[in-house]
Chains A and B, each alone.
Chain A
């Protein structure tokens, strides 16, 4: 395609509508318009001008605002679809098969279809991320394609514009002027903080050009924001893990290498409704209990530099801390939140060694369910020997007792009891509320005495290195919005013809009322001819014609 050479001699890029230099309309369509389309200063959107190679075609596709809006609409619909049923991370199932079964069980065939379409993990699906990526491409390319020519055009603009350009502006004034009109107008415009440049018989006054960059600054902010979101998926930038820790346990903190946490205890406090808390009395009567505090007391340890995982001997205590709801424990960029709890898990069980006939006790023993010992010696020389321990007994397989989990939810014990009466020992398999005597009837039994319990705390481990980037993106976005919304790009072109008559045109990208207020002041000071608003005139005329028709 060839460059467009204007009558004024300026070479314009192909596709230009209004000459970059003098403003003359360059095609017939534009010449016939009553008002010029000033949105991009009549520049050629770059992509429209070339459409040859495959690269150009892809570029043009993304340059289109229609495509951009289309992508946004598709994204909105997709994001909404993901909220119809819960996403998979909020479903109480661990394995893929369980998750699939859950959707079918709870939501029926709708759930089956939802899962089959992959909507249960919609926001991490390749197509959703792909769409967001396409939106980013569209933002970047559409901005580049518009910003570059607009910048060029505003930079190259001339003071003296062709009269055809000026007559197509919305604000127009024509009429006689005095010898000092231009000078006085310049004075007043400078007073009103306009940047005025003059050339021969004309002047150009301009104010707030940077307002035109608002949308592009805004897009830069959005792109930085999207970049931050993208970083979240890179290892090391974003951690969101759950750590279940029981009272007395010491656990490595997931995704926080070198840090180890010990739980000293979990506390759940409720309001008593007495004394100072009397004001809660009514609420407590209504709902039963009202929680006052959920708290896990922890000790944080750090494995020394260079020490290996598993080497806990030289661990250094960093800090003791109480983690409460909304008061996370923060250290080294990580934060531990109190999120969940589980009360009264079994910790120890106490038994009495009893003669089944007489009920006589030979003494008590306590088995630590977390770390059991093998031998329990009683005072009179009796011995209870632990042969097998199954913390979550789930039945027998090939005669062997099985445990379903490592947690003492349903402890089973295989014990050998030896007393002075039964020196050969008697074997018994004990579970809660059930005793099996596999090798014949016993004289003695372990009678259940009581339990001690402990609580488990569910903590969330979080780290987010992308927050500053997201913040920066948001800030730039807002700056762009303010720039484009609260400031206007106002321009006046004034020319004094050889016969002394004045031609004036005005343009702003928004807030025409403000432009007219400025112009009123200049008109008064420099006795300019009265101006008219061509668009309002057109609208008024259309209205009149409409009325005549009816």
Chain B
């Protein structure tokens, strides 16, 4: 057998083996990646399109997320039993006054509580932004919300800009609103 043929065969063998090994390692890597990130909930990731939904607020007005395209949407999931949710509400209200005119909308999504509880709460804290109630938890399920509060920052293009879990300070809120403010 000529040396050239031999060299070719050796080259082919190395390529063949490399390809097989690479495929197998890629499959395992992907599986590990999936299993490790599975617990972290985020089926939704930063950069994904925010799932559209429609919910009714306390005044009976319907809010559809896609209607706010071109504006930033500060989507806050909360409940009256969640202490940090309650604490960040007044800060959200005061920042809303600053950013509403600059094209940032707040939608506070309450998780399946009664009208009475939500209305009483809104009145008590003088909340100026629309509060919608997710009665069958379908929006919560669509966004895969686990801990409360969770805030989804949706940019004017309708993509998720940032996912915040846990309490935010007023400074945080101002910074996040700046991020999703339309140009």
Contact = CB atoms under 8 A, between A and B. Distances in A.
A254 interface: yes
B64 to A, nearest CB: 7
B94 interface: no
Nearest to B138: A252
Contact of A55 (B14, B39, B112, B120): B14
B55 to A, nearest CB: 4
Interface of B: 1, 10, 13-14, 17-18, 20-21, 24-25, 27-28, 31-32, 34-36, 38-39, 43, 51-55, 64, 79-81, 83, 111-117, 120, 132, 134-142
Contacts of B137: 251-252
B52 A136 contact: no
A133 B116 contact: no
B120 A389 contact: yes
Interface of B is mostly: helix
A257 B139 CA distance: 10
Contact of B39 (A124, A130, A404): A124
A406 B111 contact: yes
A406 B120 contact: no
Contacts of A129: 28, 31-32, 35
A540 to B, nearest CB: 46
What 7 A-B pairs have minimum CB-CB distances, sorted nearest first? A133-B28, A252-B138, A309-B138, A233-B34, A310-B55, A309-B142, A309-B53
Contacts of B140: 252
Nearest to B79: A406
A233 B35 contact: yes
A140 B20 contact: yes
8 contacts: A59-B17, A133-B28, A250-B135, A252-B137, A310-B132, A311-B54, A391-B117, A404-B81
A403 B134 CA distance: 19
Given A233-B38, A310-B139, A406 B116 contact: no
Interface of A: 3, 50, 53, 55-56, 58-59, 121, 124, 126, 129-130, 133-134, 136-137, 140-141, 144, 230, 233-235, 250-255, 257, 260, 303, 308-312, 370-374, 386-389, 391-392, 402-406
Contact of B136 (A144, A234, A260, A404): A260
Given A133-B28, A309-B141, A405 B51 contact: no
Contacts of A370: 114
A124 B17 contact: no
A209 B13 CA distance: 28
Nearest to A301: B136
Contacts of A50: 10, 13
Contacts of A234: 34
B38 A124 contact: yes
A312 B54 CA distance: 9
Contacts of A310: 53-55, 132, 134, 138-139
A260 B1 CA distance: 71
A144 B21 CA distance: 12
